[in-house]
Amino acid sequence: MDSLASQYSFKYEVLKADIDEKAIRHDTPRDLVLALAHAKADALLQKLAVADSSSNSSSAAAENAADSGSSSSGTFLITCDQVVVHEGQMREKPEDVEEAHRFIHSYSRSPAQTVGSVLCTNVATGSRHQTVEVCTIHMNDMPDDVIDQLIAEGDVLWCAGGLMVEHPLVVPYITQIEGSQESVMGLGKEAVMSVLVAAAGL
């Protein structure tokens, strides 16, 4: 998001939606990540409304949110969600260390896919535009001691499927990514710009 903000001269800030993601369930990855992105948008719009009424100011907020910085363009809310699909099973954040280890170890057996939603809401008009990106990650076997070191650092426990392709410990074992690394990380530039342009009516 930083590179997009610099390139297109908009401001943004980041807040959390604080929703119960486990309470929202769907049978397909696409439906699930879209439902979660919409739920985050609903929760954040409520927060923005409360903040606006109490302080008489507006801001863009989301798990990832962008404000164009222009009164003519308005304020836009960008929310997203992602799951990993592996061997037909949907994976969200690991429940514990053991599950994280099992997830990461399994990715050398067969490719993993990330299914990620990006939703942009025009705060002024309420219109919403969405997209879903699917990427495939091919990996070689990662030794147990490397997996243990990765998990000990803790960040993978907050990633869907325990998948963190940008981490220096993981990079040597990635053989191919079908899609962009940014999309695998949850917020691809093309996806963000496509929904932002659509929401702005450009």
pLDDT in tens, 69-79: 333 357 899 99
pLDDT at 5 over 70: no
Please give the domain boundaries of the chain with CATH numbers for all domains: 2-200 (3.90.950.10)
Residue 133 · residue 119 · CB < 8 Å: no
Residue 110: helix, strand or coil by DSSP?
Answer: coil
Percent of the chain with pLDDT over 70: 84
Is 81 among the residues known to form the active site? yes
pLDDT at position 177 is 96
Q: Which two tokens stand for residue 28?
A: 């397909």
| Catalytic hit among 81, 141, 144, 148 | 81
The pTM (predicted TM-score) of the whole model is: 0.81
What pLDDT, in 10s, does the model give residues 99-128? 999 999 999 999 999 999 999 999 988 999
